[in-house]
A and B are shown apart, each in its own frame.
Chain A
Amino acid sequence: MTEEFKPKIVGFLCNWCCYAGADMAGTSRMKYPSNIRIIRVMCSSRINTEMIIKAFQTGADAVFIGGCHFGDCHYVDGNYRTKKRIDVLKRLLSHMGIEQERLRLEWVSAAEGEKFSKTMAEFTDTITSLGPSPLREIKEEAI
């Protein structure tokens, strides 16, 4: 068994900023790891707890959420709520025995392609060293 662990990361990216940032990273050939599955949403605050846990439950090793910088949210204050929600959820995850590092929130503007690719590389490293999500195993034994 030499198969190397490649984390699966689900990225929920805000259409108005981070998604464009990722796009820019792509078009300007800034490399970022290919193991992120991107889901475009209209605002980071569209993401609720259910979606994040569901992502873990269906096999994600980590979840990334990318939104607009404070003050830039298209819906004025969506991202303030996102921030609070994610901070509480991180704590809840760690109470449940799931490393809170597996959930990450970053503000990435449309112009920050480089920030995006750097963040993703770094996040992938973190998760690689953490290993597979404990929920993955549980999922497999369930069927």
Chain B
Amino acid sequence: MEPELRDYVGELLDSGTVAGVLALKDELGAVKPYLFTKNNEIGDLVLTSKYPLASVMSMLQKEDPSIKLAIVCRGCDERALIELAKRNQINLDNIVFVGIPCDEEMADKCNCLQPYPKEIVTGEKLSNWVPKNNYEDFKNMSTEEKLIFWKGQLEKCNKCYGCRNACPLCFCSDCELENALWVKHGRLPPEFPIYHVIRAFHLAGKCVGCGECENACPVGIPLMTLNHLLREDIKDLFGYMTGQDIEDENPINTKEEY
């Protein structure tokens, strides 16, 4: 998949369609987000890791709102870009999507609901994909057990804000997690459970299921459990899925009855 992709984005650069291609680069035995601007660097472009590229794109556009860039994106990157665009954090007109599907290993690891973008440039979409983990174990717990479970988990929290920092959809400059009215400053762990409830709720109808929050959590709190359940709830209550179409509005914020 990589060779075709390199040709494809090389062409985008050569033809001047875009000023740069945001993708992953292999360097020093690790993989990092990088803006490719010259065709001769493209040999280091790889697809093996996953980074929150949508946030990077938003940052780049803020630096230069007129610049036209391509982005090599997975399903979750595309969904994040769409959600960001809905909230005026990004201008899709200046973005060329270079979609790639995820392989089974990655899709499994992320327990992804939709491991491919709408259009793909190269590779095969996983067909008949359904995520394996439905969080049945969690759902089978009693209310009391759930509380004990979360208490044990959230007591580990290191208040690194990594879950927020890594999330492509957490872009507010004034974050309520830092508001002392709700979350006391300087306490470790943060008071149970307000910190995590605020974040989960703020992401309801916004979360695209990329898993970056859980990946960033140093103490292994299963944050995706909450995200997943809320995604199900939103679907159940409003029939809504994030990241599908820029015209869809987050139903929680609309004035319609349901």
Stretch at the interface among B4-12, B103-111, B157-165, B247-255: B247-255
Partner of A95 from the list B181, B194, B226, B256 (CB cut-off 8 Å) is B226
A64-99 toward B: CB 8 Å interface, digit per residue (1/0)? 000000100000110011011101110111111111
Residues of A within 8 A of B144 (CB): 97, 134
Query: In the complex where A53-B193, A53-B198, A99-B143 touch, is A88 in contact with B252 (Cβ < 8 A)?
Result: yes
Query: In the complex where A50-B198, A94-B143 touch, is A80 in contact with B257 (Cβ < 8 A)?
Result: yes
B201 at the interface (CB under 8 A from A): yes
Residues of B within 8 A of A98 (CB): 143, 147
A128 at the interface (CB under 8 A from B): no
B176 at the interface (CB under 8 A from A): yes
In the bound complex, what is the Cα–Cα distance between A80 and B230 (angstroms)?
19
A138 at the interface (CB under 8 A from B): yes
A126 at the interface (CB under 8 A from B): no
- Chain A: minimal CB distance from B196 (Å): 8
B119 at the interface (CB under 8 A from A): no
- CB-nearest residue of chain A to B154: A96
B129 at the interface (CB under 8 A from A): no
How many residues on the A side are at the interface (Cβ–Cβ under 8 A)? 29
Residues of A within 8 A of B255 (CB): 76-77, 80-81
Judge whether B233 and A50 touch: CB under 8 Å: no
Q: Summarize B's interface: helix, strand, loop or mixed.
A: helix
Residues of A within 8 A of B181 (CB): 50, 54
Judge whether A91 and B197 touch: CB under 8 Å: no
- Chain B: minimal CB distance from A114 (Å): 26
- Chain B: minimal CB distance from A100 (Å): 9
Q: In chain B between 187 and 214, which residues have their CB closer than 8 angstroms to a CB of chain A?
A: 191-194, 197-198, 200-202, 204-205
A88-131 toward B: CB 8 Å interface, digit per residue (1/0)? 11011111111100000000000000000000000000000000
Judge whether B197 and A53 touch: CB under 8 Å: yes
Judge whether A97 and B258 touch: CB under 8 Å: no
In the bound complex, what is the Cα–Cα distance between A70 and B257 (angstroms)?
9
Residues of A within 8 A of B130 (CB): none
Judge whether A96 and B234 touch: CB under 8 Å: no
B237 at the interface (CB under 8 A from A): yes
Judge whether A49 and B201 touch: CB under 8 Å: yes
Partner of B146 from the list A91, A96, A138 (CB cut-off 8 Å) is A96
Judge whether B147 and A92 touch: CB under 8 Å: no
B148 at the interface (CB under 8 A from A): yes
Chain B: residues with CB nearer than 8 A to chain A?
Answer: 143-151, 176, 179, 181-182, 191-194, 197-198, 200-202, 204-205, 225-226, 229-230, 233-234, 237-238, 251-258
The 15 listed contacts between A and B (C-beta, < 8 Å) are: A53-B182, A53-B193, A53-B198, A70-B257, A77-B255, A80-B257, A84-B238, A84-B252, A97-B144, A97-B146, A97-B147, A97-B150, A135-B192, A135-B193, A138-B151
Q: Which 6 A-B pairs have the closest CB atoms?
A: A97-B147, A97-B146, A77-B255, A91-B233, A50-B182, A49-B201
